Amino acid sequence: MCGIVGYVGGQEAWPIIYEGLRRLEYRGYDSAGIAVVDPYGDIQLRKTVGKVSGLESTGEHPDGSVGLGHTRWATHGRPSHENAHPHTDCEQRIAVVHNGIVENYLELKRRLIDAGHEFGSETDTEVLTHLVEEGIDRGLSFQEAFRRMGRMVKGSQAISAIMQGDAAEICALRLGHAGGIVVAQSEGQAIIGSDLPALLPLLQTDSNIGQVAFLETGEMVVVTRDKVEYQDLEGNHIDKQPRMVSQEEILVDKAGYQHFMLKEIMEQPQAVASAMRERVNFETRRVDLLDFPLSPQEIAGLDRVMLIGCGTSLNAAQVGRHLVERYSGLPAEAESASEFRYRDPYIGPGTLVVSIGQSGETADTVAGMQMVKDKGGKLITICNSEGSQASRIADGTLYMRAGIEIGVASTKTFVASLTILNLLAIFLGQSRGVLDTAKRQELVDGLAQAPRLLGDLVANDGVYQYLAQEYAQFDNFLFLGRGMNAPIATEGALKLKEISYIHAEGYPAGEMKHGPIALIDNAMATVALAPKDFLYDKVVNNVKEVKARDGRVLAVLTEGDSQLSADVDHALYIPEAPEHLIPLLITVPLQMLAYHIALLRDRDVDQPRNLAKSVTVE
Ligand code: F6R
């Protein structure tokens, strides 16, 4: 959470930092701020509550070629001007930006207040500023004071600071897993950021900026115009080799779509094809996961699979559980990483834990993975971000290869996860000899159709727009599904609530009569997932129960269904498809419905309130 950008070089810092922050807004947008060291060596500070664009109206931009910026996702202290970063000391000698949580901030704050420091915000971050100030007042250099501060704080975070004067120096450090820092340098200039998109404004004019280094936990960097120096928190030099990142990793734009979310929904056919590339042989009709880290003997020795994730990735894990159970013959469980991390689960030699995450940085998921690692368990991750925490902790990564996802609501990475979970389940079944050849071939043939079928579905925009108009006025939604589609009902409800702010619940359809049925009346909209699968008749009964109570029903049906279509108020159709593809296909109309309802309600689709793309705090 929170985005950090710092620049030092021969150009004006403000526009580069401003553009970098705009690219990092997916990390949070509760407030924003930029501090620049002006030509007289003084720190000039501008802040705004809300989005980065608000900085445009904070007056004339300060001149200067060294600066730091921040876009905030609030943890300690509400979104306000006082709590916006950068934070400065009383005399505005130092400016600090921060991503993460200072766990011992209360203890540090009390001590600093006793020592005479005055605080102007409710944030934990401000203690960092005063700690650096304290070091400087004790005669340390800026670097030494920053390093000392790094040794005093507890928790998982990324911190960066600049100081007044003519040193033209940015210090940054990383502690724990919550906050990354990338560093890029080329001739006469350098940029730091919490994530690769921060580098974009410079990359467009200087291709050498593609050489980047990532800080590891416990590492610090001191960046000047001509030099980048890596150290540990004791000041010992660290050798670090930058690596080239591709333009594609960094470069993102809306490609003519009104929103990133829409663009990313439209990209789903390619995302699925890309997830299968070189992993599925459509001639031999086998799945070969060359990037799977377990040996054939280890795979044969597996006796259980546990899948963990949060939010949309948890919904993917729940679908994955069905797929793994059905096709690999292994018992499977799925659980929220935020619960899993605080249990003491048995992780035996035959347990395989699979974490799922778009970002690979979600704090709860990373902590759950670390626990598995500490218990000596076998651990793989399904992840979209190269170099993420998750991919570093896991024994192996099955990359989604969906391309960067900017819309805060996950879309293409969800269907990419479902694709890889299908591959994983088939691969495990195939490797363990429990999936007979005919079934394996049928499953692989089904997967081959997925990009085309998804392509047909995303093209149905007119239908989704029409239905959105019919349903946008409802304030309560119930999404019902069974079997593999129960988690898809939850995902449909999550998409709707997060981008339209409409109350929506996802429920296993069979559970409806145990409570939620009390909610049914003509003001409650029910979205019933009733594709033609082996549970179809059961869902039909549930839909009839809703209609008997005057509920309004929009059903997602298989093309050609004439049985249920006559009983419901509206129907959406997916093409006939094998059962393992149905969760992917049903997802599309639900995403599109949520998207168009949110538009009708005039919501900020790409950056819904209170959310952030990477949830790197607990
Ligand atoms: C919902 C959404 C979130 C994320 C969750 C986990 O659309 O995007 O619920 O799925 O924050 O994020 P990752 O997948 O990065 O671990």
pLDDT in tens, 279-308: 999 889 999 998 899 999 999 999 999 999
State pTM to two decimals.
0.76
Q: How many helices (H) and strands (E) does the chain have?
A: 19, 26
- Ligand 1 pocket check for 123: Cβ under 6 Å: no
Q: Answer yes or no: are the C-beta atoms of 336 and 367 closer than 8 Å.
A: no
| Cα 362 to ligand 1 centre (Å) | 8
Q: At what angle do helices 412-431 and 582-600 cross, to 10 degrees?
A: 170
Q: Answer yes or no: are the C-beta atoms of 376 and 347 closer than 8 Å.
A: yes
Atom of ligand 1 nearest to the CA of 314: 10
The mean-pLDDT minimum among 2-11, 18-27, 253-262, 410-419 falls in 253-262
SS3 of residue 116 by DSSP: coil
Q: Where are the beta strands (DSSP E) in 9-125?
A: 31-37, 43-49, 66-72, 87-88, 94-100
Q: Residue 194 carries which side chain, given as an amino acid letter? A: S
- Pocket probe mutation, ligand 1, options 314, 397, 410, max atoms within 8 Å of Cβ: 410
- Ligand 1 pocket check for 410: Cβ under 6 Å: yes
- Ligand 1 pocket check for 362: Cβ under 6 Å: yes
Share of the chain above pLDDT 90, in %: 75
135's tokens: 């070091």
- Ligand 1 pocket check for 388: Cβ under 6 Å: no
The mean-pLDDT minimum among 11-15, 31-35, 98-102, 190-194 falls in 98-102
Q: How far is CA 206 from CA 20, 78, 170, 209, in A?
A: 14, 38, 20, 6
- Ligand 1 pocket check for 311: Cβ under 6 Å: yes
* Structure-token match 């800080």, residue found: 215
Q: Which of 74-78, 214-218, 266-270, 329-333 has the highest mean pLDDT?
A: 329-333
Q: Answer yes or no: are the C-beta atoms of 52 and 18 closer than 8 Å.
A: yes
Q: How confident is the model at residue 9 (pLDDT cuts 50, 70, 90)?
A: very high
* Structure-token match 């005399």, residue found: 91
pLDDT at site 581: 97
Burial bucket for residue 91 (CB in 10 Å: 0-12, 13-18, 19+): exposed
Average pLDDT score over residue span 436-442: 95
pLDDT tens by residue, 117-163: 999 999 999 999 999 999 999 999 999 999 999 999 998 889 999 99
Residue with CA closest to ligand 1 atom 16: 357
Phi, psi of 228 (to 5 degrees): -125, 120
| Cα 612 to ligand 1 centre (Å) | 9
Atom of ligand 1 nearest to the CA of 359: 15
- HEC-encoded secondary structure of 76-109: CCCCCCCCCCCEECCCCCEEEEEEECCCCHHHHH
Is residue 256 predicted with pLDDT exceeding 80?
no
pLDDT tens by residue, 153-202: 998 889 999 999 988 999 999 997 667 899 998 889 999 999 888 888 88
What DSSP designation does 557 have?
E
Is residue 253 predicted with pLDDT exceeding 70?
no
604's tokens: 């900020």
CA geometry: angle at 509 spanning 508 and 513, to 5°? 110
- In whole angstroms, give the CA distance from residue 96 to residue 92: 10
Q: Answer yes or no: are the C-beta atoms of 100 and 46 closer than 8 Å.
A: no
What value does the mean pLDDT of the chain take?
Answer: 92
| Cα 399 to ligand 1 centre (Å) | 16
Atom of ligand 1 nearest to the CA of 615: 11
Q: Answer yes or no: are the C-beta atoms of 69 and 97 closer than 8 Å.
A: yes
Catalytically active residues are 2, 613
- Ligand 1 pocket check for 365: Cβ under 6 Å: yes
